[in-house]
A and B are shown apart, each in its own frame.
Chain A
Amino acid sequence: MFFLVIKRILLGLITLFIVSLITFVGVEILPGDACTTYLEREAYGAALEACYERLGLNVPAYERYISWAAGVLQGDFGYSLSGDMKINDVLGPRVKNSMVLASASILIGIPIALLLGIITALWRDKMPDIIISTIAIFSMTIPEFVSATLLILIVAIWLEWLPGIVIVPTGVSVYELLPNIILPVIAISMIMTAHMARMVRSSVIQVMASDYVQMAILKGVPYWKMVFKHVLPNALLPAINVVALTIAWLLGGVVVTEVVFNYPGLGRLVIESISNRDLPVVQALAIILASIYVSINLIADLMTLMLNPRLKSLQIKK
C-alpha cells in the first residue's frame, strides 16, 4: 500500500517534469523569443541585448531550463514581460479567485450530482428520472459559453437581478467576490453536474441489478438500509475517478467562463498572457494547471485505494 502511494506520487512528478519540458521546448521552438515578441519593432541592437541580459536569454537553452526549473521548485516563476512584475505576484490573487470559483462549483455541483444520480437511478424510468434525465442531457449538450451568455441575458439584462460581468479589481477579498460568482458558478456547474449525475445513475443502476443486491432483498434487508449499506458504497467507488476527471475537465470550462464573465481568475490570465505573448507567464500557467490536474487524479486514485477493500488487501498481500 505504502509503496503504491509512493509509486503514484513519483509517476505524478514525472508527468509534471515532462509537461514542463514540453512547454519549455514549445516556447523555445516558436519563431522568435520572449524579447523579440515583446520589443516587436524595436527588437534590435542595444535594447534587444539589454532585454536578453535582463531575462537571462543569452545563455544556452538547457542552462536556462535548469535555472528555471530550479526556480519553479522553490516556487519562483521569474518575471512577467508585460508588467515587469514578479509572476508570483501576478498569479497569487488570480489563483485565489479561480480557486474560489472552482471550489464553489465543486461544493455545490458534487452533492447535487450525487443526489440527482441516486434519485434517477432509484426511480428509474419513473417520472423523477424522466424529468431530471431530460434536463441533464439538455444541459450537458449546451457549451458553457452559450449557457453563460444566456444567463447574462436572462438574469442580468432582462431580470436585472445580478451583475452581468465582474468589474471588481483582481485583489478583492473573498467576501466581496461572492455576489459576483453566482452566475459563473451556475454556468460551470451545470455541465459538470449533469455529467456526474449521469455517471452516478448508471453506476447505481448497475449495482442495483447485481446478485448481491438481490440477495440483500431476499435476506429481508429494508429498502433504504439496503440502498445505503449495500448499494451506494459499491456504486460510488467507480464514480470517484469520473468525478476527478470531471473536476480536471472543469479547469477548461473555467477558462471559457471566466472570459465570458470577465472574471479575474487564472482562466482569463491564460487568454490575456497568450494574446500579450507573455511567454514566461504562459509557461508558469501550464505548469500550474498541469499540477492541479495531476494532483486531483492522484487524490482520486488514493481515495479509491483506501475505500476499496479488494485493492487494499491485494496490496497488503504483496
Chain B
Amino acid sequence: MKTSVQEIKDLTIGFQSQKGEQISILKNISTTINKGETVGIVGESGSGKSTLALAMMGYVKHGLFTISGQCMFHSNNLLEMKNKELETIRGRKIAMIPQNAGQSLTPNLKIGYQIDEALKLHTDLKKEDRDKKISELLNKVRLPSPDTMAQRYPHELSGGQQQRVAVAMALAGSPELLLLDEPTTGLDVTTQAHVLELLNFIAKDTDTSMVYVSHDLGAIAQVSDRVIVMYSGEIVLDGPVRSILKNPIHPYTYGLLKSIPKLTLPGLPNSMSGSQPQPGSIKSGCSFYERCEFSDDNCKIKTPTLEYINDLNTYVRCFKHKELTNQNDLNSQTVKSIENKILKNEILDLSNVSISYAKQKFLEQLFNKIEDNNPTVKDIDININKGETLALVGESGSGKSTILKSIAGLLKTKDGIIKFEKDKVLSNDLKERDNSYLRAIQLIFQNPDESLNPNHTVEEIISQPLRLYFGLKGQELKNKIIEVLDKVRLGEFYLTRYPRQLSGGEKQRVAVARAFAAKPDIILCDEVTSALDVSVQAAVLNLLQELKEDFGTTYVFVSHDLAVVRAISDRVAVLYQGRLCEIGPSKNVYKFPSHPYTEVLLGAVLEPDPDIKPKLVAEDIVEEKPPENGCSFQGRCPRILGDICKNEVPPWQTSESGNLIRCHIKIDDLKNQQSLN
C-alpha cells in the first residue's frame, strides 16, 4: 500500500467580494499525494493551481481565506496550524521551488547565505558542516565552482543558475514533499530541458514526492507520474500521465492538447473558443459548458461530479466522457495547414545589418559613429518576399527582437542597409522616415498589457492609426473602426471598453486590430503569443493567419517557441548571439536540422507526450557576449572542430534541401553525423 504524504480534503478557498459574497477560487478539491510520486497540476492562468500549491504549505495569500476543507500533512491540518508550528514544517518537511527564482531570491543576501539560512533552520549542522553541505548542494544542482558561487549575489547569476539555486535551497532541509510552481516558465528551451532533467534525477535519487504546477503540458509530460487538470478552480481530470495525455476523456483537456502546436505536425492547431469564466460567475451547471464542443442542455443545468473510471484509473468531471473515450485523433491531421501566396518580389531586404548596444562615447557622438567591433547583432542578411512569413528563432539574447526593432526604426543600426520594396532605403532615423513607410511597417508587441494605453478605450486605440495615416474623421472613422474590430472578431460592443476590461486574448486581438488598421505591408510580430494561454494562443495564431490570407500581409515573426514557429512560418532563420546560423524553408529546417545549434534547439523542445524525451546535446552555459572571432556557437557547440571554429567566421553552405547553413563542418558530414544521433 502506498503511503500518503499529503491529503487534501474538500478544500475550498476564496475571497469576499465587495458585495460581501463569498467567491471561491478553489472548489471542493480532494486529492492525495503519495510518497515518491510526482504529480503534475496543469491549468491555464486563473485555474487556481498556484493557490492550491501554496495551500499545500499552509499558506494562503493576503486577501484570500479558507472557506472549508483541510490540507492534511501526516494527520495535521496545515491550514489550522499556528505560524510557529508551520515554521518547523516549511522548508524542512515541505519545500517550495518558486516560479521566478530571480525574484524569489532576496537581492541583498548572497546565495550562500540564503542556503545557509535554510540549513541553520532545518538541520543541526555546525558551521563547517554547513559550509560543506552548501557546496554539496550547489554541486548536486550542477552549478559550476560551488565555492565562488556561494559568494555571489542573486543578480550575478543567469536565469537558469538562479533556478538551480532555488532548487538547492529547497533541498537544504531534505523535504519529503517538493512543491514546484512553474519552475521552468521563463527559461530558455535548452535551460528548461536541463532543469527538468535535474528535477527528474532528484526525484529518483532522493525519493521525494513532488507536486509540479505548470501551464505547460510539455513540461508536465516530462516529469509527472500522475496529472491533475484544473479548470476554473475545480479538478476536472486526475489520473496517470499517459492516460491523461494520450487519451484525455475530459473535453477541456482534449481541446487543450489539440490547441498546442507540435513539432511533428505542421500547420495551425485547432483553437478553443471563449475563455475561462470569472470566479463566482458560474452558479450552476458545468463550468466548461460555454466552451465545450460536446455539451448539451443537461450540462447547463446539472453540475457534474468527479467520477472514477476504473479502466483508466482516472477521475473525471464530465457527463460526456464516454464520447471522448474513443476519440483518438489527437495526433491525426486535423490541424489546418497554411498556404501562403508568396509573390516573387522582395518586400524587405536586410543586407549586412549590424546593431550595437554599446554606449556612444562623447567623441563618437560628435562624429555620429559607433565603434564596436563585437556588436550585439552582426552581419544579418535576410530578404523577405511579399506574402511570406519569416520566423526568427533563438534563445534569449539571440538578438531576434533587436532586429525587429531596427526594422521598425526604433533602434539605429551600426552598419548595413534595410531596404523596403527593393529600392527604397529605410532611414536609420525614425524621424526621417516617410509617413508611408511608417504605415507600411507595423509592430505587434509581446505583452498587450503594456502595449495598450490603459487610459484609452478600444475605440481610441484603434482610431489612432486611422487618423494618423488616413485622416479619417467622424462617422467615417467610426465605421472603419467597427470594420477593423469585426475582422479580429470583436464586436461593436467593445468600442467603449478599456484594456483592463478585456481578457488576455481579447487584448491581443485589439493589438492586432491596431496593427491592421494601418493597412500595413509588413507586420513585425514580437513574441505575440508568449504571454497568452495555450488555448488563446491557438486562436490568435489562427486569426493572424486568416488576416494574412485576406490582406496578403508579410509577417516577420519572432518567437522562442519552436512549435509555434513551425505552425505559422514559411521560412525560419535561426539566430545565436546575434549571428545567423541557419536559414531555410520551415519544413526543411524542422525535418533536417543541419546546423549544430538548430539541432540543440530542436532536441530540447518538450512535447506533451511522456514517451518523447528531449535530447540534450549541449551544455546550457550562458554566454554574456558573442565571441569576438570565429563561429558564434563555438562556446557550446557539441561538434566543434577545433581552432578553425575559434578563429574563422564559418562560410555559408547550401544543403540539398535548400537551407543555408553557416558552419565549418561540410554539408555532407553535417547530415551523416546527425543520423548517428
CB contacts (< 8 Å) of A223 on chain B: these are 83
Mask, B78-99, CB within 8 Å of A = 1, is 0000010011111110011011
Beyond A212-B103, A219-B118, whether A234 also contacts B108 by CB under 8 A is: yes
Assembled-state Cα–Cα distance A107/B347 (Å) = 68
B173's nearest neighbour on chain A, judged by CB, is: A220
CB contacts (< 8 Å) of B169 on chain A: these are 219
CB contacts (< 8 Å) of B96 on chain A: these are 215, 218-219
Assembled-state Cα–Cα distance A308/B154 (Å) = 12
- Does the CB pair B95–A215 fall under 8 Å? no
CB contacts (< 8 Å) of B83 on chain A: these are 223
Mask, A224-260, CB within 8 Å of B = 1, is 0000011001100100000000000000000000000
Assembled-state Cα–Cα distance A310/B105 (Å) = 13
Interface size class of A (residues with CB under 8 A): 20 to 34
CB contacts (< 8 Å) of A217 on chain B: these are 59, 90
Mask, A172-216, CB within 8 Å of B = 1, is 000000000000000000000000000000000000011111111
Among A211, A213, A233, contact of B100 (Cβ-Cβ < 8 Å): A211
Beyond A215-B105, A220-B88, whether A209 also contacts B117 by CB under 8 A is: no
Q: How far is the CB of A101 from chain B (nearest CB, A)?
A: 35
Say if the beta carbon of B566 comes within 8 Å of chain A: no
CB contacts (< 8 Å) of B87 on chain A: these are 220-222
Assembled-state Cα–Cα distance A229/B92 (Å) = 20
Say if the beta carbon of B538 comes within 8 Å of chain A: no
- Does the CB pair B100–A219 fall under 8 Å? no
Q: How far is the CB of B156 from chain A (nearest CB, A)?
A: 6
- Does the CB pair A221–B117 fall under 8 Å? yes
CB contacts (< 8 Å) of B117 on chain A: these are 219, 221, 229
Among B54, B89, B91, B104, contact of A212 (Cβ-Cβ < 8 Å): B104
Beyond A220-B87, A220-B92, A313-B153, whether A212 also contacts B107 by CB under 8 A is: yes
Say if the beta carbon of A309 comes within 8 Å of chain B: yes
Q: How far is the CB of A98 from chain B (nearest CB, A)?
A: 36
Q: How far is the CB of B16 from chain A (nearest CB, A)?
A: 14
CB contacts (< 8 Å) of B91 on chain A: these are 218-221
Assembled-state Cα–Cα distance A310/B98 (Å) = 22
- Does the CB pair A220–B122 fall under 8 Å? yes
CB contacts (< 8 Å) of A210 on chain B: these are 103
Assembled-state Cα–Cα distance A229/B107 (Å) = 11
The secondary structure that dominates the A interface is helix
- Does the CB pair A310–B155 fall under 8 Å? yes
Among B57, B99, B103, contact of A218 (Cβ-Cβ < 8 Å): B57
Q: How far is the CB of A182 from chain B (nearest CB, A)?
A: 38
- Does the CB pair A229–B109 fall under 8 Å? yes
CB contacts (< 8 Å) of A209 on chain B: these are 62
Q: How far is the CB of B115 from chain A (nearest CB, A)?
A: 10
- Does the CB pair A216–B106 fall under 8 Å? yes
| B108-167 residues at the A interface, CB under 8 angstroms | 108-109, 117-118, 121-122, 153, 155-156, 166
Give the A-B contact count at a CB cut-off of 8 A. Answer: 81
Among B54, B100, B153, contact of A309 (Cβ-Cβ < 8 Å): B153
B153's nearest neighbour on chain A, judged by CB, is: A309
- Does the CB pair A230–B109 fall under 8 Å? yes
CB contacts (< 8 Å) of A230 on chain B: these are 106, 109
A317's nearest neighbour on chain B, judged by CB, is: B156
- Does the CB pair B153–A310 fall under 8 Å? yes
- Does the CB pair B104–A309 fall under 8 Å? no
Assembled-state Cα–Cα distance A222/B100 (Å) = 22
CB contacts (< 8 Å) of A216 on chain B: these are 106
- Does the CB pair B90–A218 fall under 8 Å? yes
CB contacts (< 8 Å) of A237 on chain B: these are 108
A230's nearest neighbour on chain B, judged by CB, is: B106
- Does the CB pair B90–A220 fall under 8 Å? yes
B92's nearest neighbour on chain A, judged by CB, is: A220
- Does the CB pair A219–B106 fall under 8 Å? no
Assembled-state Cα–Cα distance A73/B121 (Å) = 58
Q: How far is the CB of B216 from chain A (nearest CB, A)?
A: 19
Assembled-state Cα–Cα distance A210/B89 (Å) = 22
A314's nearest neighbour on chain B, judged by CB, is: B155
CB contacts (< 8 Å) of B54 on chain A: these are 218
- Does the CB pair B118–A234 fall under 8 Å? no
A237's nearest neighbour on chain B, judged by CB, is: B108
Among A220, A221, A222, A309, contact of B107 (Cβ-Cβ < 8 Å): A309
| A270-318 residues at the B interface, CB under 8 angstroms | 307-310, 313
- Does the CB pair A219–B90 fall under 8 Å? yes
Assembled-state Cα–Cα distance A310/B157 (Å) = 12
CB contacts (< 8 Å) of A309 on chain B: these are 107-108, 153, 155
CB contacts (< 8 Å) of B99 on chain A: these are 211
CB contacts (< 8 Å) of A313 on chain B: these are 153, 155-156
A234's nearest neighbour on chain B, judged by CB, is: B108
Assembled-state Cα–Cα distance A201/B169 (Å) = 30
CB contacts (< 8 Å) of B118 on chain A: these are 219-220
Q: How far is the CB of A240 from chain B (nearest CB, A)?
A: 13
Assembled-state Cα–Cα distance A230/B107 (Å) = 9
CB contacts (< 8 Å) of B88 on chain A: these are 220
- Does the CB pair B103–A211 fall under 8 Å? yes
Beyond A211-B98, A309-B153, A310-B155, whether A220 also contacts B89 by CB under 8 A is: yes
Q: How far is the CB of B420 from chain A (nearest CB, A)?
A: 38
Q: How far is the CB of A310 from chain B (nearest CB, A)?
A: 5
A residues with a Cβ closer than 8 A to B are 209-223, 229-230, 233-234, 237, 307-310, 313
28 contacts between A and B (CB under 8 A): A209-B62, A210-B103, A211-B98, A211-B99, A211-B104, A212-B107, A214-B59, A214-B104, A215-B104, A217-B59, A218-B59, A218-B91, A218-B96, A218-B98, A219-B91, A219-B117, A220-B91, A220-B118, A220-B121, A221-B87, A221-B91, A222-B87, A222-B121, A229-B106, A229-B109, A230-B109, A310-B153, A313-B156
Please list the 4 inter-chain residue pairs (A to B) with the smallest Cβ-Cβ separation, ordered nearest first.
A220-B91, A220-B90, A211-B103, A215-B104
Given contact pairs A211-B100, A233-B108, A309-B153, a sample of 13 additional A-B residue pairs in the complex whose CB atoms are under 8 Å apart: A211-B103, A212-B106, A215-B98, A215-B105, A216-B106, A220-B86, A220-B89, A220-B92, A220-B121, A221-B121, A229-B106, A237-B108, A310-B155
